[in-house]
Structure 1
Amino acid sequence: MTQPSSTEIEDKHEIEDITSNSLIQELMCNLPGHKNGFIKVKPYDFVFLTDTKSYLKRIREFEVRDDDIWICSFPKCGTTWTQEMIWCLMNNLDFKTANKVDLDERMAFFEETAITDLKYCDFMDDSIEQAANMPSPRIIKTHLPFQMLPDQIRTRDKNPKIIHVYRNSRDVCVSLYHHWKILEGFGGSFDLWAKLFLEGLGGYYCPFWKHVESYYLSRYDNIMFLTYEDMKRDLKGIILDASCFLGCDKYSENEIAQLEQHLSFKNFQNTPTLNKQHHVDNCYKVGFSNQTEGAAFVRKGIVGDWKNYLSHEMSEKFREEDRILCTVTGLVIEDE
């Protein structure tokens, strides 16, 4: 196992090797890949793969366009759902193409290559290059925290539209646990995963609360804030708000109803271009899954599944982190 090194500077990013951390070692012992270890990007302390270091300069210097749309979130917050909504609104509700062409081909996952186990990078396109070569207006998905977005966004040299999606921390933890089981092969218990998550070590992009805080404290006027819970409660209202934000509020009542149907959970589960089943199947074939064949990426799509996993004691620890986040950002979190 990689030994800890002193903090180093990787092109303006201060990097700390955390591979020797006892919890990280537990994480790695329960993974088939990612044997090169993990780092923290300082001073924010966001966790990434050691291999991500070689991409940080390209991410920081990426050429942004003013007509870009960036969909930003911590993983498992409703990102795919939001992506499809935004793509449809920006493409004249072209359901025919949406049902024929995979969502990952219709927009770029900006840093995907940077979070992929190095030995598998040769089998995939360079995601940063893919984003750079997309025709305008580009729709780009990212799970990067605000502080790690390209310089041109953070300095306001360019003014793309940004849509941020938040979800209750406890449901995120549960959903991310299943995500890492089927796509990363995590073989540990949920209790271990919840501990990693609370300690800000539950895989790349953690800590969750600091990630959310990074966007809510920026409060740029080009950011629209959505929550998974609001989308579940009032999808039509969110669609209308998003269409106004994007400047494409041209759709009839009937067309909005069609989009609602297209974005329904049942349709997501049953549509190959949306349910990412091919990703799950590929992970199973190469041994990056400890689930049975046919495990689903689109799992339940409900609010409150955390009640089936978290003890009262563990739930209170999440609530305390939520309270701190609300105090700092003014975010109002539903507490069932």
Structure 2
Amino acid sequence: MPALNELLADIRALVECESPSADLAAVGRSAEVVARVGTARLGVAPERIALDGRAHLRWRLGAEPSRVLVLGHHDTVWPIGSLADHPCTVEDGVLRGPGCFDMKAGLVMAFHAVAGLDGVTLLVTGDEELGAPSSRELIEKEARAASAALVLEASADGGALKTERKGISLYEVGVVGRAAHAGLEPERGVNSTVELSHQVLAVSAIADPSAGTTVTPTAALAGTTTNTVPAAGSFAVDVRARTQREQDRVDRAIRALPPVLPGARIEVTGGPNRPPLEAAASAALYERVCRIAARLGMPEPGSAAVGGGSDGNITAGVGTPTLDGLGAVGGGAHAADEHVLVDELPGRTALLRALVEDLLADSTNPLLGSGATRP
């Protein structure tokens, strides 16, 4: 197992370099720290990939063609200055600090787990928390060339691996009406607030709780002054779906929304942001890691289906077998109590290394074909 003091020192180095996703300079500084720590552990420097001004890092390990993609991100949701109120500490077996659980501890685990292996690509992106706007095509390209993708996002409760993630779609539903004086001649207007209310109810009805599909209207805006029939309005919609079929069904339904008021018009923008990570994409890898855990005398990790998205949705979306949640055990992602359980770090890292070694060694396994790029 890796030395705990080395894991903790590396995690501290990453956590103490703040990296809010929207701050390009901060993400750039973080990339340099990640590159330094990774180079020290892997013995080779990464490629620095700049996309839309954002820093991503890629390590190609060994002389063999890469067959396993290990994926993580170094950006966080925490603004600059968060360390003042949430310093990086280790007390009573708990490591704390902004971004430690999501997911800088996972990056350090990856460095220690894949050091010295041949045939691995380690990709560290800098915009996951924004939905991977600049790195999406890069992730898709690497995933198509790999036979398995292992995502170092933090675990689910109790250390469970994330074997399902809902797909995410984001929309804005715009309502166009017609303005009129609310006191003198409201009948001459087409009230966008009333139309918006109809559409909010219609959108909500698209959800299917039995299938795990949520369709949630969120932020809304309509009107300009209190004495004017509003001419325009809009509301945002957050959609989470467990299957591609459900994500597609919701997309068709939202785009087909008819107006209710005569003269009103509906304009829909947005769409699917991340495809689902369906259970079928992770099943074989999950079974494999459970067998490895038993062989190592470790408890079998649990599995969990979660609503939040990650870059694992993207790798699964191009057809690459994907296992997510292989990172740190702890809790409080994005919250003031974000933390990592220190005692879990060495064993969890050893399990990850054993999984990668097992995948690389078994050329007969259907997960590991030639590694040829998918169409």
**TM-score in terms of structure 1 length:** 0.24
TM-score between the two structures when normalised by the length of structure 2: 0.22
Higher relative contact order (CA 8 A, sep 6+): 2
Q: Which of these two proteins has the greater Rg computed from alpha carbons?
A: 2
Higher helix share: 1
